[in-house]
């Protein structure tokens, strides 16, 4: 059995169930309540044009109250295995980024699989980035200091958005913050993964998530890097990156390899690995010191990149 981080020992009791249609429907039906941002943070909904032929995209924008001069921003993309999730699930940490860094955070809502197949989610998030830049003056955002970040599936989508931005040349993100990102559909095809050694997001869940998003069996030869960023051959010219992942995470190997390839391509990349941490540990154990420190690492990386 794996050795769990001392703060996360009770994680060994988390059952290794796999997501499917019924679980996804149940999770999607749950209604999250927005947090009270307090007087120091202003929250509003902003609608921007979506991809060509697709619906508009909504951004939930968090800003320091009374922001008077252009400041950096973070486009945040929520996780949920590409099949579920909402910006509200990350409201606690998004508010913390605003308060601690004095930046704007814009959390994007994107189409979920299997209702929309790849690369719909990435295109929606990219449209959110373009829309944010278009409204930069109104929002008092410095368009040269916008990071793109996300956790899990959101981290994979953040990497995809960075690729889209690089290739299209319309906007230029300053940084990519990839929190245990879901990058490579080929992980589904691995036969050497012991399911007893992972928690929260299992091989079965990964197969369901990728199959739902791709609309086909994962691992095939024709998967776009805008769907699975690890498929990208040339990673040169991308913005600096921060990648954080636990050693018990199903995505550990693919994240380590992506960081290695970024570094080999000349992209400044900070890689953080948390021994004995599993997928989503920081969201489940918010009060544990290792979870707090994991967030502080992200905040320090953003501060250094955007200031």
Can you give the CATH number for the domain in which 18 is found?
Answer: 3.40.50.1820
Total structural domains within the chain: 1
Dump pLDDT digits (tens) for 107-160: 999 999 999 999 999 999 999 999 999 999 999 999 999 999 999 999 999 999
Q: Is 166 within the bounds of a domain?
A: yes
Is 138 inside any structural domain?
yes
Q: How many residues are listed for the chain in this entry?
A: 307
Of the residues 7, 279, 282, 291, only one is catalytic, namely: 279
pLDDT of residue 195: 80
Question: Within 10 Å of residue 249's Cβ, how many Cβ atoms?
Answer: 25
Alpha helices in the chain (DSSP H): 21-29, 91-101, 120-134, 136-139, 153-168, 203-214, 252-264, 281-284, 289-306
- 281 contacts: CB under 8 Å, gap ≥ 6: 5, 8, 11, 199, 200, 246, 274, 290, 291, 294
With a CB cutoff of 8 Å and minimum separation 6, the contacts of 5 are: 246, 274, 275, 276, 277, 281, 290
Write the DSSP symbol of residue 194.
-
Residue in 105, 145, 121, 149 with CA at minimum distance from that of residue 244: 149
- Domain membership flag for residue 275: yes
Which among 248, 260, 273, 135 has a CA at the least distance from the CA of 194? 248
Is 279 a known active-site residue? Answer: yes
What does DSSP assign to residue 149? E
Which of the residues in the chain have pLDDT under 70?
1-2
C-alpha to C-alpha distance for 50 and 111, rounded to whole angstroms? 11
Asked, for residue 1, whether it belongs to a domain, the answer is: no
Predicted local distance difference test score (pLDDT) of residue 196: 81
Angle between helices 120-134 and 153-168 (to 10 degrees): 60
Name the active-site residue from 184, 185, 249, 282: 249
Residue 104 included in any domain = yes
pTM above 0.85, yes or no: yes
What was the pLDDT predicted at 194? 82
CB 82 within 8 A of CB 213: yes
152 counts as catalytic = yes
For residue 273, list its beta bridge partners. 245
Asked if residue 180 is part of any domain, the answer here is: yes
Looking up tokens 């400044």 gives 268
Whole-number pLDDT of residue 78:
98
Catalytic residue of the set 5, 78, 90, 152: 152
Q: What is the pLDDT of residue 2?
A: 60
The angle subtended at Cα 267 by Cα 263 and Cα 270, nearest 5°, is 65
Range(s) of the domain holding residue 121: 6-306
Annotated active-site residue 249? The verdict is: yes
Encoding tokens for residue 275?
Answer: 């021994």
Q: Is residue 33 one of the residues assigned to a domain?
A: yes
């Amino acid at each position: 059995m794996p050795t769990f981080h001392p703060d996360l020992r009770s994680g060994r009791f988390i059952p290794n169930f796999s997501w499917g249609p019924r679980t996804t429907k149940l999770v999607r039906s749950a209604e999250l309540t927005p947090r009270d941002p307090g007087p120091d943070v202003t929250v509003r909904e902003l609608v921007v044009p979506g991809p060509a032929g697709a619906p508009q995209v909504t951004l939930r924008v968090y800003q320091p109250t009374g922001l008077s001069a252009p400041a950096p921003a973070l486009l945040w993309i929520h996780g949920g295995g590409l099949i579920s999730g909402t910006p509200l699930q990350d409201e606690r940490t998004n508010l913390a980024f605003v308060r601690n860094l004095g930046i704007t955070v814009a959390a994007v809502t994107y189409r979920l699989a299997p209702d929309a197949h790849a690369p719909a989610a990435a295109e929606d998030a990219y449209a959110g980035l373009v829309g944010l830049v278009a409204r930069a003056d109104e929002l008092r955002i410095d368009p040269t200091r916008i990071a793109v970040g996300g956790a899990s599936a959101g981290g994979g989508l953040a990497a995809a958005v960075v690729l889209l931005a690089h290739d299209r040349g319309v906007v230029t993100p300053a940084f990519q913050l990839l929190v245990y990102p879901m990058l490579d559909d080929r992980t589904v095809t691995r036969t050497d993964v012991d399911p007893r050694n992972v928690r929260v997001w299992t091989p079965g869940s990964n197969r369901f998530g990728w199959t739902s998003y791709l609309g086909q069996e994962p691992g095939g030869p024709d998967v776009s890097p805008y769907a699975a960023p690890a498929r990208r051959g040339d990673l040169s010219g991308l913005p600096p990156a921060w990648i954080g992942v636990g050693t018990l995470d199903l995505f550990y190997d693919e994240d380590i390899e992506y960081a290695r390839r970024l570094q080999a391509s000349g992209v400044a990349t900070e890689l953080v690995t948390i021994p004995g941490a599993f997928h989503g540990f920081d969201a489940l154990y918010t009060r544990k010191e290792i979870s707090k420190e994991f967030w502080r690492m992200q905040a320090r990386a953003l501060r250094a990149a955007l200031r």
